[in-house]
A and B are shown apart, each in its own frame.
Chain A
Amino acid sequence: MESFTFELFPSRGLIHISLFRNVTNAAELRKRLLARDQELSYAFIDARVVFDLFQVLVAVNNALYYEKLEKLKTFNVHSEIVYFLSPTTNITESLRRFGISDVTNAILVVKVGGDATDVKSHLSSLIQGEMESNLDTISHFADLGTIKKYYKIDNKMTDRREILECLIGTIAIKPVL
C-alpha cells in the first residue's frame, strides 16, 4: 500500500492506494457494494483497466474536486473515483467497466482519508487475496486491448507513454466535455 497527499486537497488527508492479486471473493465484495454496505467505503477498481498509477491519481483528483464543490454525480467520493476513470458520462457503464466484476482477480483499492495502518488491516480482513507491497507492479495486470477500447484510443497508437498521456488527458477533460 502507498499513501499520497493531494496538493489541492490537503484537508482531505491521506489517499491510500493498494493493489491485491489472486483475489477470490470479488463476487462477495461486489454484492456488498451494490447493497451499499457502509463498511466498504473504498473505491474498488478492476486492475485490468489500470495502465499507470498517474491515471488513477488524476481520476481521484477530479473526484475530490467535485466532492468539495458538492457536485458528485454518484453516491460518494469512492464511487466517483471509479466514475472518473471512465471517459463516458454514463454512470452505470462507467461503474461496470472500471469497477470490479464477479470474476475480477486483481483489484486496485483507493481509500480517501483514514489512518494507513487501520486501512491496511481492514482491507486485509475484507479482501481474500495477496496485497502487493508497493504499486510498481500495477501495469502487470493491465489489459491493453480493453483499455484502448474503453478510452477509444486509435489502434495505430502503440507507444506506451503516448497511450498513457492520451488517457490521462481524456480523464482530465471529462468534466468539461
Chain B
Amino acid sequence: MIDNAVLIKQGAEARIYIAPFLTRKAIVKERFSKSYRHPILDKKLTARRVTQEARCLHKCRRSGLDTPVVYFVDIENNTIYMEYVEGKTVRDILREQSDDESFKSKNDEMANKIGMALANMHVADVIHGDLTTSNLLSRDPTGSLVVIDFGLSYVSILPEDKAVDLYVLERAFMSTHPNSETMFASILETYRKKYKDSGPVINKLEEEAENEV
C-alpha cells in the first residue's frame, strides 16, 4: 500500500483508501481474501472479481456513463486504483431535504439523471448488481450523476438481470427514503424513454411487483 494512504472505509469485501497517485488523488480499493475459502480457489475468484470490476467500470465510461476512471489494476494484490470523485451521495442529498415543495423540481432533475445513467449502463449490457442511493454520487461542481462500486457488476444481455438491477434500486429507495415512490416512478420514465429496448425489462420488473402482492 502507498505510504500515506488513508483508510476511509472497511467493508465486507474490501478496504477503501484515499491516496496520492501519479500527481492525482485516487481511491484505492483493496479486496481481501476470504479465509474460509480454499487459498487457490480464493485467489482465482478474487482476481476474477477485480478484473470484472475494472472492465465494467471502463465499459460504462466508454459508453458515456460517468464512472470513476480506472488508473491501475494491481492484479497480484487484488487492488484497483481509480479516480477520486468529489461529490455527495444521492442518499445524503435526499436525506438532507425536507418535504418542502421547493425540492420537488430538484428531485425531478435528479430522477432524470439517474434514469439516464441507468439506461446508459443497461444499453452497454452492464449489470451493476448493487444499486443503492449510496452508490450514486452527484459530482462537484458539475452535478453529473456518477455510478460507483462495480464490485458485484457483470455483463449480461438478459432483461431479467436488468430488471433485478432496477428492483434492487427500488427497494433501496423505499427503505431509505420514505415517500420516494414518485421519484422512482420518474426514474423509470426516463429509463424507458432513453433505452429503446427497455420494454422486456420493464415487463419483468412489473411481473416481479405482481408476485409480491
Instruction: Give chain A's interface residues, CB within 8 Å of chain B.
Output: 4, 6-8, 53-54, 57-58, 61-62, 65, 69, 154, 157, 165-166, 168-170, 172-173, 175-177
Out of A7, A57, A166, A170, name the residue touching B20 (CB < 8 Å).
A7
B residues with CB within 8 A of A? 2-3, 19-24, 50-51, 54-55, 57-58, 61-62, 64, 69-76, 81, 83
B22 touches A7 (CB 8 A): yes
For residue A172, which residues in chain B have a CB less than 8 angstroms away from its CB?
Answer: 54, 58, 69-73, 81
A-B contact sample (7 more), CB < 8 A, given A57-B22, A65-B74, A176-B75: A7-B2, A58-B22, A166-B61, A168-B69, A168-B71, A172-B54, A172-B81
Determine if A173 and B2 form an interchain contact, defined as CB atoms under 8 angstroms apart: no
Chain B's closest residue to A170 (CB) is B58
The 3 closest A-B pairs by CB, nearest first: A57-B22, A169-B58, A172-B70
Closest to B4 in A: A7
Sample (29) of A-B pairs whose CB atoms are under 8 Å apart: A7-B19, A7-B20, A7-B21, A7-B22, A54-B22, A58-B71, A61-B22, A61-B71, A61-B72, A62-B72, A65-B74, A69-B76, A168-B69, A168-B71, A169-B57, A169-B58, A169-B62, A169-B70, A170-B58, A172-B71, A172-B73, A173-B54, A173-B55, A173-B58, A173-B70, A176-B54, A176-B73, A176-B75, A177-B55
Contact A7 B3 (CB under 8 A): yes
* Docked-complex contact B55 and A165, CB < 8 angstroms: no
Q: Is the CB of A173 within 8 A of B73?
A: yes
From A57, A154, A165, A175, give the contact of B75 (CB < 8 A).
A175
A176–B81 Cα gap in the complex (Å)?
14
Residues of B within 8 A of A173 (CB): 54-55, 58, 70, 73
- Assembled-state Cα–Cα distance A7/B57 (Å): 23
- Interface residues of B, dominant DSSP: mixed
- Measured between alpha carbons, how far is A177 from B54 in the docked complex, in Å? 9
- In the bound complex, CA of A176 to CA of B56 (Å): 11
Contacts of B71 in A (CB 8 A): 58, 61, 168, 172
Instruction: Please measure, in the bound complex, the distance between the C-alpha atom of A69 and the C-alpha atom of B77, giving whole angstroms.
Output: 12
How far, in angstroms, from A170 to B59 measured CA to CA in the complex?
Answer: 9
Given the complex, which residues of A lie within 8 Å of B21, measured CB to CB? 7
Q: Chain B residues with Cβ under 8 A from A154's Cβ?
A: 62
**A7-B19, A57-B22, A165-B83 known; A65 vs B72 contact (CB < 8 Å):** yes
Instruction: From A58, A69, A157, A177, give the contact of B72 (CB < 8 A).
Output: A58
Contacts of B62 in A (CB 8 A): 154, 166, 169-170
Select which of B2, B24, B58 is within 8 A of A54 by beta carbon: B24
Chain B nearest CB from A171 CB (Å) reads 9
- Alpha-carbon distance between A175 and B62 when the two chains are bound, in angstroms: 17
Q: How far is the CA of A57 from the CA of B71 in the complex (A)?
A: 10
User: What residues of chain A lie closer than 8 Å to B61, measured between beta carbons?
Assistant: 165-166, 169
Which chain A positions have C-beta within 8 A of B54? 172-173, 176
Taking CB atoms, residues of chain B closer than 8 Å to A176 are 50-51, 54-55, 73, 75
In the complex, residue of chain A having the shortest beta-carbon distance to the beta carbon of B54: A173
